[in-house]
Amino acid sequence: MKDARPALRYAKAILNLAKDTKVETEVNADMQLIATTISENPDLDVMLNSPIVKLSYKKKVLNALFSGKVNVVSLGLFDLLQENKRMNILHSIAKQYSIIYDYYKNIDIAKVTTAVPLTKELEKKVLDKIVDLTGNKAVLENIVNPSILGGFILRVGDMQYDASFSHHLNELRKEFDNSHYIPKI
């Protein structure tokens, strides 16, 4: 990812500007909208990265797509990127902004792997438990993986708690393999 450093600098600058005007939460929603729009539309991504398409056309397309839907600070980013000829890193900036915004607001990303999708009440219990354990709010991402058979695997930051049936079965298998029991027949 060669554009990670400049994207991070732009994202920090936008966050500082948004904090000064007290619209950082709105700008975060805008950046998520921009990131998902670019991710879901490969033609838009190709257009933004194309050296053939003029920067003014790229800005016109972005303004047409996002005018009235995003904050003035987010629209100002398009002008800045056009001036600096950096329109191709807009997607990276939007993703980086969400990451540093979550860090600024002490919001962790919790990944819960389960065999079946979580219900709303179970999601709430997991989020409450994460707040108890870490002291931070969390955004829950549910990954469904039937191979764990049951239970769950919770990952928050660099901590992981594996309470899946497949993990317990593997531990039991290791115990039997390491057993020195000799049956008497």
Q: What tens digit of pLDDT does each residue of 155-179 get? A: 887 788 888 888 888 888 888 777 7
Q: Write out the chain in H/E/C secondary structure.
A: CCCHHHHHHHHHHHHHHHHHCCCHHHHHHHHHHHHHHHHHCHHHHHHHHCCCCCHHHHHHHHHHHHCCCCCHHHHHHHHHHHHCCCHHHHHHHHHHHHHHHHHHCCEEEEEEEECCCCCHHHHHHHHHHHHHHHCCEEEEEEEECHHHCCCEEEEECCEEEECCHHHHHHHHHHHHHCCCCCCCC
Q: Is the pTM of this model over 0.85?
A: no
Q: What tens digit of pLDDT does each residue of 35-72 get? A: 999 999 999 899 998 889 898 898 999 989 888 888 88
Q: How many CB atoms lie within 10 A of CB 182?
A: 6
> The tokens 């002291």 sit on which residue?
135
